[in-house]
Amino acid sequence: MKNELVALARSLGFSDARIATADNPRHAAEFRQWLADGCHGGMEWLARNADRRTQPDLVQPGARSVIALSLPYFQGGPPSAIARYAWGDDYHELIEQKLRALDEWLRARGGTQRCYVDTGPVLERDFAADAGIGWHGKSTMLLNRTGTWFFLAEILTTLEFPPDEPATNHCGSCTRCITACPTGAITAPHHLDARLCISYLTIEHHGPIPEALRPLFGGRIYGCDACLEACPWNRFAATSSEMAFAARDYVHDWKLRDFLALDDEAFRTLFRKSPIKRIKRARFLRNVCVALGNVGTPDDLPALLNAVQDADPLIAEHARWAIREIAKKNSLSEPS
C-alpha cells in the first residue's frame, strides 16, 4: 500500500513522498525555547498552538504516521525583488488540491487524516527530515541534494506505514547561508530570530519596518531568498514542471515605482491567486517604499510624493522615509 501511495503522490506532481512515525517532533524542546526567547516576533499563533505543534496526537487523534511531501518550485532566471516562491500562483491552493486527492485515497482504505501545507500546527521540517525528504540546514531551511527550492506538505494519518530512513546532513563546515543573511537574522547555526528576518518583516510583520533595518533590505519587497541563493546545493536544482509557479510579468518587468500606482482594487486584481495578496496593499506598498529608499533614484520621487498623500499612514510614513533617503544620497533638497 505504501508503494501505491508514493506512486499516487508522484502522479500528482510531488517530487517525493516519504513516511515518518507520528511521534513528538525531535526539536520540540528547542521550539519551545525559541518561543520563550521571543524569536517568533508577532506570530502569536505559534505560541498559542505550541502544545499541538509538539504533540501530533492532539492534532489528529490516533495518528500513526506522517506522510511528508515535497514539491519543487524553482523556475530559473535571475533573482528579483520578490522571493521565488511567490513568483506565480499561490502554492497553498495548488497543493491543497493535491492533498485532497491523497486524503480521498487514504479514507477509502480506512484512514482518518489532517492535511496541511504551511497552514497547520505541525513542525513540518522535523517530520520531513525524519522521513528523509532532506536535512536541517544551518539557515533552518530544509535542503537536500537538489537544493532548497521546494515546498513541504504533510498528512497526519491514523494508518500505519513503514517509516523511511532520515536523511543525513551534508552541510559540513559550510556557513554561506549565515554569511549571506543581510540582517544577521541567522544568529547561530540552526537558529533564526524572526524579528530580524526580511521574510518575516515584509510578510508577517504588520507595523512599521524598524528604521535601523530598512537600509539592509536592499530592493526586496516580498520575502528574501538570500540564504537560499547562497546554498551550494542549489547548483543541482532543476526547473519545476509546475507551470503555475512560473513568474508573472510584474516579477521582472515592472519598475518598483509602478507598484505605487495600485489602489486597493488594482492590487487585488494584480495579485489574484498570488500569495502576495495575503499581506494586502498597505504592507506591500510599505515594502516598496523601503526598497525605493534603498535603490531608488530621483526619477522615483514623483511616485513617492504621491504615496506621501496616501490615506494609509503606514504607506505615507515609509514614502517620506524613502524620499529623505533618495534626497540624501543624491545631495538634493528634500522635495515637499
Q: For the purposes of burial, counting CB atoms within 10 Å of the CB of 322, is it exposed (0-12), middle (13-18) or buried (19 or more)?
A: buried
Judge contact between 184 and 226, C-beta under 8 A: no
d(CA 18, CA 219): 38
Judge contact between 80 and 222, C-beta under 8 A: no
Copy the grid coordinates of residue 191: 537558529
d(CA 64, CA 49): 21
Task: Report long-range pairs for 165-174 (Cβ below 8 Å, ≥24 apart).
Answer: 165/132, 166/129, 166/130, 166/131, 166/132, 166/135, 167/129, 167/132, 167/133, 167/134, 167/135, 168/135, 169/135, 169/136, 170/135, 170/145, 170/233, 171/135, 171/137, 171/138, 171/143, 174/138, 174/232
Q: Which residue type, as a one-letter code, is found at position 100?
A: R
Among 272, 11, 48, 22, CA closest to 131: 22
Q: Which residue type, as a one-letter code, is found at position 43?
A: M
Query: Which of helix, strand or coil describes residue 147?
Result: strand
Bridge partner list, 188 = 191
118 catalytic residue (yes or no): yes
> Could you say which of 23, 57, 118, 312 is catalytic?
118
Q: Which regions of the chain does DSSP assign to beta strands (E)? A: 16-21, 65-72, 113-116, 135-136, 142-143, 150-157, 186-188, 191-192
What residues act catalytically? 118
